[in-house]
Amino acid sequence: MNPHCQHVCEVMDSYLSGELSVETNHGVLRHLDECRDCATELKRRQRLRALLPKALDIAVDADRVTMRIRRALDREQRSWQRVARFGGIAATLVAAVAVMYWAGRRVDAAAYDDSAEDHIACALVYPESTAYDRARAAQSLVSPFEHLADAVGLAHGVYHVIDAHMCPYKGRNYAHVVIRGDGQTLSLFAEGAERGALPDTPTTVLAGETLDVHATMRLGYRISAVATRDHRLFLVSERPTNPPDLAQDILRSAVRFIRGLEK
Amino acid sequence: MFGIPHQRREAFDRAALVHVPELLRFASRLCGGVEAAEDLVQETYLQAWRSFHRFAAGTNCRAWLYKILLFTYSAQNRKRARQPFLVDLDAAGETALLVDVPTPDAFTAKAVRVAFDRLPERFRTLVLLVDVEGLTYREAAEALDVPIGTVMSRLNRGRGLLRRELARHAPDSWTGARSGMELSTQRRARS
C-alpha cells in the first residue's frame, strides 16, 4: 500500500462522516478518481456504514415511552406546584410541619446521595469550554453565598472555578461552585442546615482546623462533607485531587468563609 | 429564562421530548434490552428536567441529553458494580492502530451485529453515537465530555476494530487480513 492510499484509508471514515476540511476532502476525491483499490474500499465502508443501523435495529415504542416520560414529568412538576400553590396559612403550616419533621430527625439521610446526584445532573453537563463568568455568578448566587466562589479561590493549581450558581435540587437550595481541572469536575455545595445533621460516618480531623470531615462514597463519587453551626458543605469529586491536599484546601477555604458568616 | 413553571415545562417539552426516539434506540443498544432502556431514558429526562434551569436556550439540547444519559448509565453501572468507574481511553484497541484491516468484500447484517457486540464498550458507545445515530464529532465530544481529538482517535480505533472483527468472521477475508499485516509490518519497519 503506497503512502497516498494509506493516508486516504486513514481519513476515509471521516470523509464518509463529512468531517474533513474542504482541502482534504478534495484530495481524497482526486485520489479516489485515480485509485481503484481505494474506491473499492470506500464502497465497502459505505455499505458497512449503511448496514450498521439496520444490523443493530431494535424495535422500540417511542410514542408509549414519550407518554410515560410526560406522566413522570407531570408527577415531578405537580409535587412542586402543589407546594407552591399553597399561600398564607397553608404555607405556614407546611413550613411548620417541615421544621418539625426535620427538627425531629437526627440525621439528614439523603445528604450525600443528593449532593452526588446533583453533581451528576448539574456539574457534569457543563460544556468543556465553559469559562467562569463573574457577572453570571453574581446574578445567580443569593445571600449569604454571594462571595462563596471568591472565598474559595477561582484557581487552585490546574483546577479552576468554571461557574457558581444557586442550584435547586430535590427541595434543596445549594450554592454550587463547579470546579474543573486535571480531567475531572469537582462540585462544592453549601446549604443551610435545615435538613438535619449529617449522617454519622467515620470522621477525620482536618489538619490545622477543629472540624471533622465526613468522607464517604456515593454513586462512585468521593464526598467530603463538613457541618458547621448553621450550614453543610459537600465537596464531590471523581477521584483524589493531585496533589491530594488541594481538595482539603478548597473545603477549608469554604468552611472559613461559612464560619465567618456565622459569627 | 423560563421563569413561569408552565412556560419552563413547555420549553423543556419542545426542546427535549423530540429526541426520545433516538435516545431510546441508543439506550436499547447500549443496555442490550428495551426494558432497561426505557427506565434509563425516563431517568435521563427526569434528571434533565431537574437541571433544566441551567440549560441555555439555543445550545445543543441533543448532545446535552446524550451526556446526561451516558452519565446516568455510568452511575447506575457503578452503583451496581460497587466500584469506581474507570475511564481508560487508551489501554484497549492498540492493535486496531497497528493492523489497518480492509473491509471484507461480503458480509451480512448478522455478521455486523456480532462484530459490533465484540467491541469494547468505550468504542461501541462512540460508534453508536456517530456512525449509527449520526452525531457530529463535536456533539459526541460534548456528550462524552472529552476533547474532539479523543473522539476522533477513539472512533478510528473503534471502526478499525469493527472491520477487524468483521474480517475475522468473513470467510473470504484472508486477502484483507494479509494486507493489514503487511501494513502493520511496513509501519513497524518505518518506526
Average pLDDT over residues A154-162: 91
Which residue, among A221, A158, A157, A220, has the nearest Cα to A189 in the 3D structure? A221
Q: What is the CA radius of gyration of chain B?
A: 19
- Is there a contact between B89 and B167 (Cβ–Cβ < 8 Å)? no
Q: Is A137 exposed, middle or buried (0-12, 13-18, 19+ CB in 10 A)?
A: buried
For residue A101, name the pLDDT band (cuts at 50, 70, 90): low
Do residue A200 and residue A122 come from a single domain? yes
Contact residues, A window 69-128, toward B, CB-based 8 Å cutoff: 69-70, 72-73, 76-77, 80-81, 84, 117, 120-122, 124-125, 127-128
Same-domain pairing of A118 and A223: yes
* pLDDT tens digits, B40-70: 999 999 999 988 887 777 778 999 999 999 9
Q: Are residues A113 and A100 in the same domain?
A: no
Cα–Cα distance for residue pair A220/B150, rounded to 1 Å:
24
Q: Retrieve residue A59's grid coordinates.
A: 424495535
Radius of gyration of chain A (CA): 26
Q: Assign residue A154 the CATH number of its domain.
A: 3.40.1000.20
Residues 7-66 of B with CB under 8 A from A: 9, 12-13, 17, 20-21, 24-25, 28-29, 34, 37-38, 41-42, 45-51, 53-54, 59, 64
Kindly determine whether residue B47 and residue A120, on different chains, have CB atoms separated by under 8 Å. yes
Average pLDDT, chain B: 78
pLDDT at residue A31 tops 90: yes
Does one domain contain both A185 and A244? yes
Q: What angle do CA A59, A63, A64 make, to 5 degrees?
A: 85
In this structure, the answer to whether residues A160 and A229 fall within a common structural domain is yes
Interior CA angle at B90 toward A2 and B66, to 5°?
Answer: 105
What is the arithmetic mean of pLDDT over A114-132?
A: 85
Same-domain pairing of A99 and A178: no
Residues of B in contact with A65 (CB under 8 A): 20, 24, 38, 41-42
Higher pLDDT, B81 or A174: A174
pLDDT tens string B77-135:
765 544 433 334 344 444 444 456 788 888 899 999 999 999 988 899 999 999 999 99
Q: What is the pLDDT of residue B91?
A: 43
> How far apart are alpha carbons A191 and A258 in whole angstroms?
10
Q: Please count the other Cβ atoms lying within 10 Å of the Cβ belonging to residue A165.
A: 20
Is the pLDDT at B175 greater than 90? The verdict is no
* Domain coordinates in residue numbering, chain B: 5-81, 94-190
Q: Which domain holds residue A231?
A: 108-262
Beta bridge partners of B151: none
A195 & A121 share domain: yes
Are A239 and A112 members of one domain?
Answer: yes
The CATH class that applies to domain B5-81 reads mainly alpha
pLDDT over 90 (residue A234)? yes
For residue B1, pLDDT over 50 is answered with no
Record: contact B145-A128, CB cut-off 8 A: yes
Q: Are residues A216 and A150 in the same domain?
A: yes
pTM (predicted TM-score): 0.57
Residues A249 and A120 reside in one and the same domain: yes
Count the domains in chain A: 3
What is the rounded distance in angstroms from the CA atom of residue A157 to the CA atom of residue A148? 19
Provide, as residue numbers in chain B, all residues whose Cβ is less than 8 Å from the Cβ of A113: none
Residue B67 vs residues A58, A92, A155, B27: alpha-carbon distances, Å: 22, 40, 26, 12
| Nine cell digits for residue A108 | 439528614
Contact residues, B window 61-120, toward A, CB-based 8 Å cutoff:
64, 67-68, 71-72, 74-75, 78-79, 83-85, 100, 102-105, 107, 109-110, 112-113, 116
Residue B86: the pLDDT is: 38
What is the crossing angle of helices B34-50 and B61-81, to 10°?
120
Do residues A113 and A130 both lie within one domain? yes
My answer on whether A230 and A183 are in the same domain is yes
Q: Class of the B94-190 domain?
A: mainly alpha
Question: Poorest-confidence range of A77-86, A165-174, B71-80?
Answer: A77-86
pLDDT in the model for residue B25: 93
Predicted pLDDT of residue B28: 92
